[in-house]
Amino acid sequence: MMKRIYNFNAGPAMLPLEVLQEVQSELLDLQGSGMSILEMSHRAPIYEKINAEAEADIKELLGLGDDYCVLFMGGGASLQFSMVPMNFLGAGQTAAYAVTSNFSDKAVKEAEKVGKVVIPFSSKAEKYDRVPQPGEIRLPENCAYLHITANNTIEGTEYSVYPETGAVPLIADMSSDILSKPIPAEKFSLIYAGVQKNIGPAGAVAVIARKKFIEGRSKALHSMLNYETHLDNGSLYNTPPAFAVYIVGKVAKWLKAQGGLVMMEQRNAAKAKIVYDVIDMYPDFFRGFAKTGSRSLMNVTFGLPTEALEKRFAVEAEELGMGGLKGHRSVGGLRASIYNAMPLAGCEKLAEFMEAFYKIHK
């Protein structure tokens, strides 16, 4: 019999079962082509339609119009750490980075190789336990853009309100909360997200951008590193990560069928509440890492009184069919990643196990 666990991994992560079943049913013969998506030319009309529909569906979910594009490319979110400053940090300008995680720190390191960077907010000294609150960020003169990490996968913090930047472009790494809730998408000049957490498998990054923002940048940029190349070619300049884009397209359709992002937010908030409620009930035992106003709906991070207990928790949970609860190697502790595809029942099962574990080990 098929065994499926509740997979709490931070990414690659759970995908909706319906999507996987559809992929399985199409694998040997995609739409009567006599071949799978894995074997198909990216110039084939079937693939061009998949690519165009994935773009259109993501724009529809975010309420974006023709002035925005969705591009799919390789290199992961990590390549975006370089592409963003290479494209948008001009000579004589300063880029601002709100540093709320290990990943924002990595983004800063790449930007510093390109030009001048200032850090108007950092929670590094508190091990990244919070994101800035409204009004906390002051931008420098001649600011090329403000870069934020919308959801901090390792630390379990997330913005619920985004900074006001006026005329300064706002850029966000949304790798771990993309399409998990409605956002004021038009506030952003560019959003990028490795798709392997919330909307697909490993292999593709989605870049959602205002077309005018990415057009007409430096001619000195290498073609593959220039967003405009990907825009001009509809994400088909070179061979794209076709299998990943195909699955992202299916997940976007699944999200629409679920009722869109308003419904996803309700569901994700309800799921997160189930787990945070247990943390709040026994705060001396389950030591929630994120400051209350910064808690993530996607990654719930907590520690236990000893490392030995944390180890035991992860092992026993695994035996009960709940995998991937060990925290990131850089911070330790435990982490439950509960992206879009994690059902409510998975969070209920985890909360029940937490209560039972507490009663035995308190």
CA 256 to each of CA 181, 250, 326: distance values in angstroms, whole numbers, following the listed order: 12, 10, 32
What is the binding site for ligand PMP (CB under 6 A)? 11, 76-78, 103, 149, 153, 173, 175-176, 194
CB of 173 to ligand PMP, least distance (A): 5
106 in Cβ contact with 85 (< 8 Å): no
245 in Cβ contact with 51 (< 8 Å): yes
CB of 123 or CB of 357, closer to ligand PMP: 123
274 in Cβ contact with 78 (< 8 Å): no
CB of 156 or CB of 303, closer to ligand PMP: 156
Q: 97: exposed, middle or buried (C-beta count within 10 Å: 0-12, 13-18, 19+)?
A: buried
CB of 30 or CB of 146, closer to ligand PMP: 146
CB of 153 or CB of 268, closer to ligand PMP: 153
Cα separation, 230 vs 75, whole angstroms: 13
297 in Cβ contact with 269 (< 8 Å): yes
Q: Which residues are annotated as a binding site for L-glutamate?
A: 43
- Could you tell me where the DSSP H helices lie in 63-197? 76-88, 102-112
Torsion from C-alpha of 109, 115, 118, 121, nearest 10 degrees: -40
Q: Which residues are annotated as a binding site?
A: 43, 77-78, 103, 153, 173, 196, 238-239
Q: Which residues are annotated as a binding site for pyridoxal 5'-phosphate?
A: 77-78, 103, 153, 173, 196, 238-239
Amino acid at 347: C
CB of 170 or CB of 354, closer to ligand PMP: 170
CA 238 to each of CA 54, 172, 195, 277: distance values in angstroms, whole numbers, following the listed order: 18, 25, 19, 48
For ligand PMP, the nearest residue by Cβ is 76
CB of 151 to ligand PMP, least distance (A): 6
Closest by CA position to 97, among listed 85, 87, 86: 85
CB of 77 or CB of 242, closer to ligand PMP: 77
